[in-house]
Amino acid sequence: MDGTITIRAASAHEMPDVLAFIRELAVYERLEHQVVASVADLSAALFGPQRYAEVVFACLDGVPVGFALFFHNFSTFLGKPGIYLEDLYVRPAARGRGIGKRVLAWLAATALERGCARLDWAVLDWNEPALGFYRNLGAEAQDEWTTMRLTGTALQRLARS
């Protein structure tokens, strides 16, 4: 059974489902110990007065089997916004049906509709299936860049300096 694939925005009442997808992704990425987000956190960030990100579900015959969380960034060199894909996950039982590609195509079309110049994301360097999948779509690794991050006490220390 192939089924019908659709992409739709998540609703505010679906934050428990979004958190479930985030936890599944974290297990796949071997990072489940880092998930501290709550339904309340997601509700505030995605549907509060300041909306920081958006979520769409990839559905197979109307049932969510994957999700993508994304937000806008900005390229000063291009003078245009972009979309940054924070998370993309398709449940193992639904893989191999083109769902991930459909989500990325939806994001690409959304980026163009919104006047964005690019679509960016990060992938773990050990995730060969994802790396191959992205390369086959025409994505190029940005190996000359190193991602930097401040969190926890380092972030607090800098904020106080």
In percent, the amount of the chain with pLDDT more than 90 equals 96
pLDDT confidence of 112, banded at 50, 70, 90?
very high
Question: Where are the domains positioned within the chain?
Answer: 5-160
Answer yes or no: is pLDDT of 103 > 60: yes
CA distance 81 to 92: 33
Active site residues: 134
Provide mean pLDDT across the span 105-133. 95
Provide mean pLDDT across the span 51-78. 97
Render pLDDT for 23-50 as a digit per residue (tens, 0 to 9): 999 999 999 999 999 999 999 999 999 9
Mean pLDDT across the chain: 96
Answer yes or no: is pLDDT of 93 > 60: yes
Q: What CATH number should be reported for the domain whose range is 5-160? A: 3.40.630.30
pLDDT confidence of 65, banded at 50, 70, 90?
very high
